[in-house]
Structure 1
Amino acid sequence: MTESADPRDATPVTPFTLSRTFDAPRDQVWRAFTELAQLEKWWGPKGFAIRSARLDLRPGGMFVYAMEAGGQTMWGRFVYREIDAPSRMVFVNSFSDPQGGLTRAPFADAWPMEILNTWTFTQSDGKTTLDIQGVPLNANAVETAVFLAGFPSMRMGFGGTLDQLAAHLAAQA
């Protein structure tokens, strides 16, 4: 277990983790995460389509996107902290308004406002493994509990998203 990313909160937080291996070289997988034209083709849970997006890939820059399904639109953003191409990116993920302003999750008022993500990309034998780790930032005890309870849903959502990435990568081969 790791400590909360907020030093004011001494509550231990188990990070959300997920690992997925893709049958593609690391540079190709990295580009899928860092080129807007590619992100627009696969990013988001199954059933959602990117309706609008913009990307400023640099520390302090943002990826702001709208996902739409069944007439429902959800906005999200990544605020990049570190970019170490092609091996690691660190960013804060949250829900947002169309301008990229921070908002609450549309599905749960007690969902943490921000999640600190560290994603690493390693290559072996021409395949790339993506390791995802996320912890809530500045979350209170209720938000932390909701985050921990959300792991199964997050695994499903990321699983579907990464399935779409695998198909996107395969189509490029």
Structure 2
Amino acid sequence: MDNNRSHSFEISMTRVFNAPRELVFKAWTEIDHFAKWWGPQGVALEIVKMDAQSGGGFLGIQTSPDGNQVMWTKFVYQEVVEPERVTYIRSFSDEQGNTVRSPFTMSWPLEIMNSISLEDDEGNTVLKLKGYPVNALAEEQETYKVAATRLQQDLESTFDRLANYLALLI
């Protein structure tokens, strides 16, 4: 799964969701679910394509709450194992899905590996996420490390949205 761990820093988070593992997995892998919760609070997501299977891809547009920032993002799914794991490389992209530099800083890594594991805990789901740059220069790894607090805040906000969405389905 992860033969290229050329990173010096990773973000690691754990979150428990009051929902069955199968439902949390579907929320991560089915377009009708994913579009309703992905991204920090206030960020809108329009999905252009989503093929959440090993070797598949995702392409979407995220728009800031004020509408002034529009970012294309893509995932390349490395491993999707129902209902226990989703691993993907996330990048900024253009409209065609070509990897591009971050709109914020040229020293942001081109590719971020994200690994999500889902464990059943008596009907709840324990989600563990790890994220780290791959094939990144030292400067890019340092930029990622400096941004870690902000990234974790964005992930917490995203996971809050997921928790609220799951509560509507149960």
Q: What interval of TM-score do these two structures reach, taking the shorter chain for normalisation?
A: over 0.9
1:154 equivalent to 2:159? Answer no
Contact residue 4 and residue 136 of structure 1 kept, 8 A: no
Contact residue 116 and residue 136 of structure 1 kept, 8 A: yes
**Rounded Cα–Cα distance in structure 1 between residues aligned with 2:4 and 2:8:** 5
Output one character per residue of 1:12-50: Cα deviation in whole Å (capped at 9) or x when no partner. 612111111100000000000011011111111111011
1:58 equivalent to 2:72? Answer no
RMSD: 1.4
**Rounded Cα–Cα distance in structure 2 between residues aligned with 1:117 and 1:163:** 18
Consecutive aligned runs of 4 or more in structure 1 exceeding 3 Å deviation: none
Count of residues in Structure 1 that have an aligned counterpart in Structure 2: 166
TM-score in terms of structure 1 length: 0.91
1:167 equivalent to 2:164? Answer yes
- Residue 52 of structure 1: CA displacement? 3.4
1:15 equivalent to 2:15? Answer no
What's the counterpart of residue 35 of structure 1? 30
Q: Residue type matched to 1:35 in 2?
A: E
Contact residue 36 and residue 53 of structure 1 kept, 8 A: no
Q: Residue type matched to 2:136 in 1?
A: A
Q: 1:14 to 1:4 in 2, by over 3 A?
A: farther
Q: 1:151 to 1:4 in 2, by over 3 A?
A: farther
TM-score in terms of structure 2 length: 0.93
Output one character per residue of 1:77-108: Cα deviation in whole Å (capped at 9) or x when no partner. 11011111110111101111122110111112
Contact residue 80 and residue 91 of structure 1 kept, 8 A: yes
Q: Matched residues, percent identical? A: 36
Please identify, of 44-53 and 15-24, the stretch whose mean Cα deviation from structure 2 is larger: 44-53
**Rounded Cα–Cα distance in structure 2 between residues aligned with 1:119 and 1:52:** 20
Q: Which runs of 5+ in 2 are unaligned?
A: none
